[in-house]
Amino acid sequence: MNINATTVLRHVAFEDLGSLNTSVAAASRMMAIYEAPTADLDALQFDSEDLLILLGGPIGAYEDRRYPFLKAELHVIGRALRAGSRVLGICLGAQLMARVLGARVYPGTRKEIGFGPVQLTEDGLKSPLAALGALPVLHWHGDTFDLPVGTRRLAASTLFENQAFSAGDRRLGLQFHLEVDPKAIELWLVGHANELAAAGIELAAIRRDAVSHGAALPPIAQNILTSWLAA
């Protein structure tokens, strides 16, 4: 499927499209990346042939008093949903989607950081995420969300029940980082250095797992994206 225009909202530079960049660009007639904290989000408009991608970031989807730009971003998501656009949310992006869809987003009981598998639900096994199988993906969050009414849970993990959800075939929220390029993991370790130190996370384990899964993850992530866009 060819997308007319793809809009990507990025919150921090190193949490980018990663291994999905080539596939998104190939499927889109036009692609624009906006820095969500500083861009004029009110100017963004959508139609049913467009794609909106919401990337991750180290803030809470409920912190719009501390980060006022989130209010504009929530309005952007609402406009895209009402227009019938495809919307893909990743980590913070998925939480923002869940909030726009009426669900509660809140701090979890502990952080989930590092590579680990997700358990696909029956609906997940019927979705493009089935290509993941038992392959570990990168988790990097402390917040969670309730499943929005009318959506389907696609995946869970040991620590968090809601790891992926869909609202029809055109809206997909992923709590985990399907997009991360394992070769760029050092950017994440440096960018989130304070969080990792405060949580007592072992960097060597993340580096080791990034090497172990570096070859397998990107092609599967690209396959999942392509299958979802074609649905």
Q: pLDDT 10s per residue in the chain (231 long)?
A: 679 999 999 999 999 999 999 999 999 999 999 999 999 999 999 999 999 999 999 999 999 999 999 999 999 999 999 999 999 999 999 999 999 999 999 999 999 999 999 999 999 999 999 999 999 999 999 999 999 999 999 999 999 999 999 999 999 999 999 999 999 999 999 999 999 999 999 999 999 999 998 889 999 999 999 999 998
| Residue 73 CB partners (closer than 8 Å, separation 6+) | 9, 36, 41, 54, 96
Report the SS3 class of residue 26. Answer: helix
Domain spans in the chain, listed from the N-terminal domain onward: 3-230
Q: Within 10 A of 78 (CB to CB), how many other CB atoms are there?
A: 12
Q: Output the six-digit token pair for 71.
A: 């209010």
DSSP alpha helix (H) spans, the chain: 21-27, 69-83, 92-100, 122-125, 185-191, 193-199, 203-213, 217-230
Fold classification of 3-230 is: Rossmann fold (3.40.50)
Let me know: does 12 contact 58? Beta carbons within 8 Å. yes
Distances (CA, A) of 207 to 36, 175, 188, 201, 214: 29, 21, 11, 12, 10
Residue 77 backbone phi and psi in degrees, to 5: -60, -45
